[in-house]
Structure 1
């Protein structure tokens, strides 16, 4: 059995040819997306565990919580440490969870419940719906507090992007962020400052010239309210990741250790920054019975 569980394959005809997606049951991970035969999400081998959290859903928090500790309205909570080397709790409570699946030809909804556990006393019903579009995919997350007490919630996801066989190092990365988070040696934020110099990626920079495990915020938005990040190939082909108004943060990450690739790039949409359970920055509290939805997506243009 594949360590990422049941594999879901979606397809539809788009304006630029066939659109296909590959989603894994474990972590509700987006592990493949192609438009007109061009891969735009970085794949990994069948039968392999998810490398670097590739494509997984991050809930009820993205990124890191310092020492796994957080103050819950006066009560100190201790989460399990899941990034032992840096003594942090990282990427939420669903990354190894097998979701329930409701799939059709071009859309799938994956459902999972977050139950009370170490350092987390709440119950959340979550879902993520992948719907193919003419040029990519739309992804909608839904969260409902089905327990007691006001539950803190932030969301993220961890997709890696590419453009066919183009070397990722040669792609140009453009981000709409106006702030960047300075961090300590444990990659925890110490300050949020205006972007400048190498961190101002609004004009684009070559991926191979960047060293990223970096949080960005206060995203510039287009007239439709969406913030758009992109990677562009030397021949002009482009992959755009868009985020609705719920997602005002991005974690950008590149690595030379992704299996089968010299360089891989993740552009991670987040609704709150690293360590938001402690800072409270853009952290939502859902009352019992309250629901929240947030949407992002990916589009390819040749």
Structure 2
């Protein structure tokens, strides 16, 4: 599909990125998938690999107030009454640059009744011996300040075994408890003694996770890593920097159809419903920009 997606390759890595949501459609190392992929046509299932901006996760009721003005975004998760995963997923993306191991996709988020700022958004994907590197860059080209948050949305695949048999290493000490019906924030909880304590690697089993985590352990360079391991010995790692103080983890549970196909690991600059709470929300003044990067790599 010329013009709508780019095929990338470097060493053992190959990837396909698409203008549909600015998404990572495929990522492989050798003959195995590192993410849950999807086909070249139609809607992106389960928001796999898309770029969620200018807010990640849920905005309750789709309404919010910013700088004294009221805004209303379309509710695209009617069963929970939320505007889910921002506005970029609804915009027309285009290929800005393409090379053998690198691609830049971009879209424009206009100001309007759902958002105060004008954003130029680009995502750069590149492959190296160290894996797939992603970076989202946003510039407020409008005349008004704009609230901003972002996350990528890949579903990681550790190997051929069912997700229940995978082991997870998640270096987070705190998670955000949410309401059972709408998955909206209630308050912070310590993972110690909880089913969500994966600070030491252990089997996922039947635990169901769809929560944001913070209080994340990092190395001396500020990098954090989530690792998922398959009993066969393969695995996958997602690494991110201090630009993202949160990470959403989701075991991909679905009431109907195939579920638990992969583990969503989504570094987030802010928690769910941040347009209401203001927690870690970025405030982009006119002309200001924001960048955030992450890496997905195979473990052997």
Q: TM-score, normalised by structure 1?
A: 0.92
Counterpart check, 1:217 vs 2:214: yes
Q: For 1:97 and 1:150, how far apart are their aligned partners in 2? A: 20
Q: How many residues align?
A: 296
Q: For 1:259 and 1:265, how far apart are their aligned partners in 2? A: 16
The Cα offsets for residues 72-117 of structure 1, whole Å up to 9 and x where unpaired, read as 0222222221111111111000113331211100000001110023
Equivalent in 232, 237, 242 of residue 240 of structure 1:
237
Equivalent in 214, 220, 227 of residue 224 of structure 2:
227
Counterpart check, 1:75 vs 2:69: yes
- 1:204 is displaced (CA, Å) by 2.8
Q: Which residue of 2 aligns with 1:122?
A: 117
Comparing 158-167 and 26-35, the one that deviates more: 158-167
- 1:169 is displaced (CA, Å) by 2.5
Superposition pairs of residues 93-104 of structure 1, within 5 angstroms: 93-101=87-95, 102-104=97-99
Equivalent in 36, 54, 57 of residue 60 of structure 1:
54
Counterpart check, 1:268 vs 2:263: no
- 1:230 is displaced (CA, Å) by 0.9
Equivalent in 192, 205, 208 of residue 188 of structure 2:
192
For structure 1, the residue ranges without an aligned partner over 5 or more in a row are none
Q: For 2:206 and 2:225, how far apart are their aligned partners in 1? A: 21
Q: For 2:147 and 2:299, how far apart are their aligned partners in 1? A: 37
Distance 1:262 1:212, change over 3 A: closer
CA contact (8 A) 2:132 2:296 kept: yes
Give the aligned CA root-mean-square deviation in angstroms: 1.9
Q: Which residue of 1 aligns with 2:34?
A: 40
CA contact (8 A) 1:251 1:269 kept: yes
Q: TM-score, normalised by structure 2?
A: 0.93
CA contact (8 A) 1:158 1:268 kept: yes
- 1:294 is displaced (CA, Å) by 0.7
Q: For 2:82 and 2:73, how far apart are their aligned partners in 1? A: 9
Q: For 1:28 and 1:259, how far apart are their aligned partners in 2? A: 25
Q: Which residue of 2 aligns with 1:290?
A: 288
Q: For 1:279 and 1:64, how far apart are their aligned partners in 2? A: 12
For structure 2, the residue ranges without an aligned partner over 5 or more in a row are none
Q: Which residue of 2 aligns with 1:30?
A: 24
- 1:254 is displaced (CA, Å) by 1.8
CA contact (8 A) 2:159 2:234 kept: no
